[in-house]
Structure 1
Amino acid sequence: MRWASHISGKDGQEHAALVEADNLLSVEETLLELLQSDGTLGAHAARARSNPWDVVPLGGASLVAPVPRPPSVRDFMAFEQHLVNCSAAMGTSVPPVWYDQPVFYFTNPAAITGPYDDVPMAPGTAQYDYELEVAAVIGRPGSDLAPADAEAYIAGYVLFCDWSARDLQSKEMTIGLGPAKGKDTATSLGPFLVTPDELEARRSGKGYDVAMTASVNGTTYSQGNWRDLFWSFEQMLAYASRGTELQAGDVIGSGTVGTGCILELSQVHGGDRFPWLQPGDRVELDGGPLGRISAQVSPSAADRLALS
């Protein structure tokens, strides 16, 4: 199944919708409400097919992020090539702990943007970057999960873009905290939540054989594959749930696929072939069955940080 969220023309409110061919079969609830309910997405899909609240052509729908306000957003760093390239770009080496356990940071649930929304520059940055990722959305609460059991807690997967102010990030992390303001401005999700059964035929390595690409102003920048995960989503969920409870609707990012950001590309290729993002740039991310994100970078609402 594929699910989406859209703003309905009937009442101007957010609604979940099952994607069937070229149509959205809407229900009255939001996708987060469906995930938090007692029913399964399969049961809600049957209801959407038999008695849709509305039917909207997909091409004309006003899509928003599948879960516009998740309870929490954790972003891991689960692709080894990304970590190796970024460490080299910053003049460091890969910390040994990364090979012992998955690692993540919390980011801002209020900064979620839709798949086609403009994305503002972070205030004060001159080194704005995208990150090409996939994320799991939690379908039911769970604590202290074992990796062998964790997949059953995944409602589906979404394309995920973690917009990053590299200069702010590198400065603030010298103190041993963060990233914070370097990742605080926007995170794009969508357009679809794709259930695991839809991807089963692609299962490969520790993920799925899904080619993922990114382009800027029509020029291909990044090319990676979901199957290259070092840490599986099952391992990530097990670690994230240790000593706490994952909630329905929580978003768990994979971290960036290999070569999936400008910071990496600058290290791998050198020179000025891949400049930092500027207002007016169009960034398009392609996640195959997960759909596409297409975002134009807009000027920051504040040209610089003003601290008093």
Structure 2
Amino acid sequence: MKLATYKDGSRDGQLVVVSRDLGLAHYATGIAGRMQQVLDDWNFLSPQLQDLYEALNQGKARHAFPFDPAMCMAPLPRAYQWADGSAYINHVELVRAARNAEVPKTFYEDPLMYQGGSDDFLGPLEEARFGSEDWGIDFEAEVAVVTGDVPMGATPEQALDGVRLVMIANDWSLRNLIPNELAKGFGFFQSKPATAFSPVAVTPDELGDAWAGGRLNLVLQSAWNGRKVGMCDAGPDMTFHFGQLIAHVCKTRNVRAGSIIGSGTVSNKGVTDDKGQTDWPKGYSCIAEKRAIETIQDGKPATGFMRFGDTIRIEMKGKDGQSIFGAIDQKVVNAAA
């Protein structure tokens, strides 16, 4: 099934069920008012929502109305936890190669992860407001999952059973603020502003065979100022699957229902020809990776970061060509304005 949260003037919004084709919606008021309620009581409430979902798809829901992504908040407008990984080691390899740094062997065995702010997420069409272009504004196209309760010490296989919903995300980064923060040895903070999520979150069964082994084997599209810059396959090059990422989080603590786990920037390996020249035909899911590629090839980056007025659209389509989660479509604006 597909779920979304509509704006209603409150912090947590109103839960709606959305049809498979994203054409219709129906308030879930008679079942649950908020997304977190469903996650807290999944086994009881999700079957009822599934029944409403099936009625909606069959044209039998009496009070259905046209679905409007502009009304959407993030599917889970605020969460108990937002932990973002860096599951695509190719991305790490490129960024490190650009500064002539090796990737530690442990990075291939133990996922990188940071704890982001989970009290304030952006809706899919909400403007992204920043104080200065000098901060190095960058989008990051990712896949994310929402969990149920996962006990401390769960194996990757057990952790994968805790996945309740799948979304796509734009995990904004302020690249020029990152070096000074990391130099303190205490991780990201001001350099990681509010993350945006897709209009709808979907249950894994909706993804069919594209959801396999904790990976989503579909193309994540990124269009910067209307120009397609990324057609990155989210599956094959994902070094750590979502079960491994969740297990990493719950090694020393329980993971509670309503936790969001991100994949990190979706990244694909380059293709090297018989002359030793490497190309990246699938593009990129963040500007930092494009700049790393340019530095490796030409000795310096040529692509600048985003400026006020720029737009970014992130979307994933199924094998039938239809949008699965709806699109994240944001404009970068000056917070001072």
Give the TM-score taking structure 1 as reference length: 0.89
Structure 1 residue identity aligned to 2:7: I
Looking at structure 2, the residues matched to 6 and 211 of structure 1 have their Cα atoms a distance apart, in angstroms, of 27
Corresponding residue of 1:276: 305
Match of 2:275 in 1: none
Quote how far apart the aligned CAs of 1:205 are.
6.9
Q: Is the 8 A contact 1:73 1:107 kept in 2?
A: yes
Alignment correspondent of 1:305: none
Q: In structure 1, what residue type is equivalent to 2:105?
A: P
Q: Once the two structures are superposed, what CA deviation does each residue of 1:60-119 show, in whole Å capped at 9, x if it has no partner?
A: 761110001011100000001111112223442212221121121000112310100000
Task: Go from structure 1 to structure 2 and tell me whether the alpha carbon gap of 1:173 and 1:272 turns closer, same or farther (over 3 Å shift).
Answer: closer
Output the CA distance in 1 between the equivalents of 2:147 and 2:266: 21
Deviation at 1:141, TM superposition (A): 4.5
Quote the RMSD (CA, aligned, Å): 2.5
Indicate the residue corresponding to 2:13 in structure 1.
14
In the alignment, residue 294 of structure 1 is paired with which amino acid?
D
Of 265, 268, 273, the match for 2:290: 265
- How far, CA to CA, are the matches of 1:224 and 1:196 in structure 2? 20
Calculate the TM-score normalised by the size of structure 2: 0.81
Go from structure 1 to structure 2 and tell me whether the alpha carbon gap of 1:14 and 1:161 turns closer, same or farther (over 3 Å shift): same
List gaps (5 residues or longer) in structure 1: 303-308
1:142 equivalenced with 2:147 (yes/no)? no
Aligned residues: 300
How do 1:115-154 and structure 2 match up within 5 A?
115-121=124-130, 125-154=134-163
Counterparts in 2 of 1:165-180, with a 5 A limit? 165-180=174-189
| Residue in structure 1 matched with residue 320 of structure 2 by the alignment | none
Q: Which residue of 1 aligns with 2:27?
A: 26
* Residues 34, 44 of structure 1: 8 Å contact kept: no
Q: Residue deviations 1:9-50, cap 9 Å, x none? A: 9x9972111111411121121111111125242332325666
Q: Percent identity?
A: 25
Q: Is the 8 A contact 1:132 1:256 kept in 2?
A: yes
Please, which moves more after superposition, 246-255 or 57-66? 57-66
Instruction: Check if 1:299 corresponds to 2:334.
Output: yes
Check conservation: 2:149, 2:254, Cα contact below 8 A: no
CA gap of 1:90–1:114, structure 2 versus 1, over 3 A, is farther
Is the alpha carbon distance of 1:261 and 1:48 closer, same or farther for their aligned partners in structure 2, counting shifts above 3 Å? Answer: closer
**Aligned residue runs from structure 1 range 27-46, under 5 A:** 27-28=28-29, 29-37=33-41, 39-46=44-51
1:187 to 195, 214, 231: 195
The aligned counterpart of 1:238 is 247
Structure 2: gaps spanning 5 or more residues: 268-283, 318-323
Structure with the higher strand share, 1 or 2? 1
